[in-house]
Structure 1
Amino acid sequence: MSDESPHPALPESVEVLVVGGGQAGLGMGFRLREAGIPVVIVDDRARVGDVWRDRWRSLVLFTPRRFAALPGRALPASTAYYPSKDEVADYLEQYAVAHELPVVTGARVSAVRREGNGFVAETSRGAVRARAVVIATGPFQYPRVPRVGAKLDDAIAQLHSSAYRAPEDLPLGRTAVVGGGNSAAQLAVELAATREVTMVAPAPPWFIPERILGISVYWPLKLLGILGSPAESRISHYIHSRGDGILGTEAKRAARAGRLALRTSRVVDARPTALVLADGTELEVDAVLWATGFRTHYPFVHIDGALTEHGAPIQQEGVSPVPGLYWIGLPWQSRLDSSILHGIAADSRDLLAALRAHLGRAARTASARLDG
């Protein structure tokens, strides 16, 4: 971080390369720096925190400030109880500076390959070799839009939630928000203030109260040990089977008051001005906001045995069967809370132990070869 240019130089080699400079990559970088292991973090964005700055304008985390911090540094006391996306972005930037994390921005990774007993990553700023690689780009890079959207007339505005910034991005009129998660609920409520909105959820939404007896729901979840439950535990399996829970009941209240229409069905087809639902009905629309998530895709990972045939990471608690390759920031990676900032502390701590063991074995192997 001592380089005065906006883009610090990318070294030719390093012990550990972390691909992705969002919260997962920074948390992993902190652990490695703390352990004295040379690390470089590469990110394709111009500025640390841009992964949050580039989201919709009104976005507020559904996790309280206490549960939105990375290891080694709390959010500033001035941060709102439920931090805004810009507060999180600034926090990540300050976090990198405070811990002197070697983040190389503006470096898009096009390929990570095996080379000998290590790896080489090709980036837009040159190549870098590493003994170990941690993929921290997360699963939210490639928007998933149902193919039926192509059947809608060109006059029907369509956006994926990742491209949405504010209500004025969509024309006034009959708007369908397709999706059943937190993003769909937040955006449906926001849009319903200025237009007729129908939220189309594939299953009955699971609304979770933000507070229980005046206390954030996260506190009893933490105190009862549920928040950090192992991904394979019975309680985690139950919660996973329920699908994405929607924290807060604002959308539920809006539906009851008639300010928002809520339909439980899947979009299975479309005609020029309407979505066709699985229940046989049609929904006339002037605009569609697809809050339909993202597809798992890591086109830059060119390593045999790293991905399934469908492109998903092959990993157990972040550890790949490929020696020296690791993942962090995946939903349900190790624990129930792996998908939120709170879980990065534990996941990065566990991965550090695995990384140290691997680097130790690699060093002993190299020493034995020299002795031989």
Structure 2
Amino acid sequence: MSCSPDMFPHPVKTYRSTPYDRIAPRNATFDGAGKTVVITGGATGVGLSVANSFAEAETSRIVIISRSATSQQKARVELQNRHPKTKVELFQGSIDNIYRIKEILNQVGTPDVLVLSAATSHKHVPTIQIPDDEMEENWNINVLAQYKIVMAHLAMPKPAGAQKTIVNVSSACGQLIVPGLTGYGPSKAAFTQMVSHLAAEYTPEKDGVRMLNFHPVRDKNADADKIATIVVDTLDTCLAKEDYEGVSRLVLKDGHWRDHLASSLDFRTVKGASNVIFFLQDNSAVEEIIIERDTDFRKPHFGPLNLNGDPENITFHVSFRASHGTGRGVFRLLDEGTGWVISTVFLSLQELGGDQEPEGTKRPDGPFDDEEKKIRNWQDRRTEANEFKERDPAALVVGAGQAGLMASARLKMLGVDTLAIDTNDRVGENWRRRYHSLVLHDPVYFDQMPYMPFPKSWPLYTPKDKLADWSEAYASTLELNIWTKTKLVSSQWDKGESKWTVELERTQSDGKTEKRTIRPWHIVQCTGHSGKKLVPEIKGMDSFKGDVLCHSSDYTGVSQEGHDIYRDYYEHGYAVKMVQRSSTCVVTSSSITNVGLADADLWLWGMPPELFKAQQSKVSGLQKDTDSEILKGLEKAGFKCDDGTDDSGLFVKYLQRSGGYYIDVGASQMIADGKIKVKHGQEITEITAHGLSFADGTSLEADEIVFATGYQNMRSQARITVGDEVTDRVGDVRGLDKEGEFRTIYRRSGHPGFWFFGGNFPLCRYYSRLLALQIKAIDTGVGARESGHYKVREGGGSKPSDDEVLVLN
């Protein structure tokens, strides 16, 4: 049989975003009087909305079929309160029990309209994780059960109105490709197609039957903005009145309020509407929140709550005004069937008071001296500023890698006089001296630094020496004050003056050594997000007679650094054996590159840690599907992989451990191919003269041994920087606290005037601003010192003493 493509009804290419007047419930041409409408799944969700629309059209009788008696009773109350003229009848039954459905239809009589809204869906997980019985259930209920109900209705006599109407409530998932909904989406599409075929066979003219597919979508233009406006306006009113119980009523029962220096000068994530009340009672700095509408991405729009496509929410960006500054944030609204409420709030401080960064119209004049307004040679002014001959820096940044550079740049932009020191001969040497084959494993989008983006022609993955040169150019272009070839000899905290006394030893350009004493308010340790290199103590290390026995930082483990070194050795003709004690989380760089990074920093850090971890668990599942072949090859080669902490993948493992992961750029394939051998799960018991011995009694000969065993906690380096007395007052660095925020790093360390700062490029780019804002707040008297949390001080004031503490609940 030959078929024209226009012969049968087919889905439109785009969804209409405004209602059709012709089928609006109050259209005079639509009269529900005397008609009976049966709705499966009519007690909740779309089915209940359909019931309300028919009731609004004054339909005489609405019959709801669903499984939950509780939901049915709630639906009856809602419908009868809104539409008292409509009779509502309730029947319990599951649509996959055709005998029960036929019994109900016979009792009701032939309905004028049959609406098929009931359906089922499996969990939204990678397809390989969907149990067979759930997959079968989706097809049985969403296709076969629906088909049987349609056939039962067609077999019934014509209703009093002489025409039967069958409406299939389809789903956008039946038209869109949604990874992880492999059973639900295709089953909805299959029945939608079946209805189209039946509609071509059973026509109003020939059979008195109309069959329709209905694709429920929201008005994605006006509604999202309207809903967001109502929520934010109500929130602003509550904040102005200090009605924090009113605020809590706008928040999902288990919603999250994430706050980075906005309501308080601290990092907080509060879970639960009731806890939001207590948080805002103690931290009431936010005064007004304004919806941003300058781009399509920022303005209110419907979309998935996360990258996995579930559940649908309204997302929008905001700006806010607080008593101590201004900032930006992200809101996510969710409708769980009782109306739109706030699922997550994220507010992040951007500016402190009237201190705007010198950009755009605020940029410096250039040739003029800042104070006397006299023209001076730029190089003379830079040399004078960098030497600190007649002044002390307010902040001393120890280390001039990416963390030190970004921290210095942010502090400079806030007017905090800053000196950075580094023991290397040049800025960027920390990259130049790394192993020869190193390229960054994060794509270029991740690795931008503030104020000076890479050129558009920059390679996707940055070579180490190119990044070293860029770091040097960054420091020069932004006029950062940096002393290279300088080491910190000693430091002493003066509690009375809230200042440090720091002894420095600096090698000048002529080779002479200069000793300098400076007195900064703050020391920021930027010597790497880890501490001293971690070299295991193993029996016999002194007896090794091979060519090399060293730590990977000087060039046996299996994280990022280790893999690259193994690959480098192999490519230079060595026979390489990898010793893996536990397991590693592995993903390919391509599976990371495909994750969108639009408005990356606000979007990324705006997700509360608990939800972010859950989302990353699903992302990890998708990455495993993408990387399945290489992962199978690794397992076959004896290399053990894991899915990260609580199956949450690489990113969460990095945030919590700073290790135990690998972004593959080639070494994994070498392992899978057997080019790099693996020894797994055995501790090294002894280093012998010509190799290693293991706990299982085996041994391995080696000419060179490299320990890629990672680094100690940042506190180990702090003992060198500020001594034991100060270090003993600070907590362990990195990892997450009970609210999911970083411990110790980026925030008050536990000792006044001492800060930890480090991490990868995205972490440093985002948190460098917040570090600088905290330091500026203390220096201007806006933020008070305390051992745990900050609280905004009214009206600023003089610099607080060490003993000034504000206790927060």
Which of 124, 137, 143 is equivalent to 2:527? 137
Match of 2:748 in 1: 319
Distance 1:228 1:301, change over 3 A: farther
- Partner Cα distance (2:395, 2:754) in 1: 10
CA contact (8 A) 1:156 1:273 kept: no
Match of 2:727 in 1: 306
Question: After superposition, where does 1:160-171 map in structure 2 within 5 Å?
Answer: 160-164=551-555
Distance 1:233 1:161, change over 3 A: farther
TM-score by length of 1: 0.81
Distance 1:85 1:227, change over 3 A: farther
Partner SS state of residue 350, structure 1: helix
Match of 1:114 in 2: 493
Q: Does 1:277 align with 2:698?
A: no
Q: Does 1:180 align with 2:558?
A: yes
Which of 174, 191, 199 is equivalent to 2:569? 191
Match of 1:258 in 2: 674
Distance 1:228 1:267, change over 3 A: farther
- Partner Cα distance (2:456, 2:533) in 1: 34
Partner SS state of residue 387, structure 2: coil
Q: Does 1:328 align with 2:744?
A: no
Partner SS state of residue 355, structure 1: helix
Please tell me the residue identity of whatever aligns with 1:186: D
Distance 1:77 1:295, change over 3 A: same
Match of 1:24 in 2: 403
Match of 1:124 in 2: 505
Distance 1:147 1:230, change over 3 A: farther
TM-score by length of 2: 0.39
Distance 1:346 1:310, change over 3 A: closer
CA contact (8 A) 2:729 2:751 kept: no
- Partner Cα distance (1:138, 1:232) in 2: 27
Size of the aligned set, in residue pairs, is 344
Percent of pairs with identical residues: 25
Distance 1:86 1:134, change over 3 A: same
Distance 1:269 1:223, change over 3 A: same
CA contact (8 A) 1:209 1:217 kept: no
Match of 2:418 in 1: 39
CA contact (8 A) 1:208 1:249 kept: no
- Partner Cα distance (1:223, 1:350) in 2: 13
Measured after TM superposition, the shift of residue 100 of structure 1 is 0.8
Please tell me the residue identity of whatever aligns with 1:344: C
Which of 328, 340, 359 is equivalent to 2:760? 340
Q: CA RMSD in A?
A: 3.3
Higher relative contact order (CA 8 A, sep 6+): 1
Question: After superposition, where does 1:190-229 map in structure 2 within 5 Å?
Answer: 190-193=568-571, 194-212=573-591, 216-217=593-594, 219=596, 225=603
Structure 1 unaligned residues grouped into runs of 5+: 165-177, 330-338
Structure 2 unaligned residues grouped into runs of 5+: 1-377, 507-515, 617-644, 735-742, 785-795, 802-809
CA contact (8 A) 1:19 1:133 kept: yes
- Partner Cα distance (1:355, 1:85) in 2: 31
Measured after TM superposition, the shift of residue 231 of structure 1 is 6.6
- Partner Cα distance (1:227, 1:77) in 2: 25
Match of 1:335 in 2: none
Partner SS state of residue 123, structure 1: strand
Which of 757, 775, 779 is equivalent to 1:355? 775
Q: Tell me the alpha carbon deviations over residues 185-226 of structure 1, each in whole angstroms, 9 at most, x when there is no partner.
A: 1111121230211111222332211113xx715536959955
Question: After superposition, where does 1:45-84 map in structure 2 within 5 Å?
Answer: 45-84=424-463
Question: After superposition, where does 1:227-238 map in structure 2 within 5 Å?
Answer: 235=613, 238=648
Partner SS state of residue 204, structure 1: coil
CA contact (8 A) 1:179 1:290 kept: yes
Distance 1:269 1:65, change over 3 A: same
Distance 1:308 1:245, change over 3 A: farther
Measured after TM superposition, the shift of residue 316 of structure 1 is 5.1
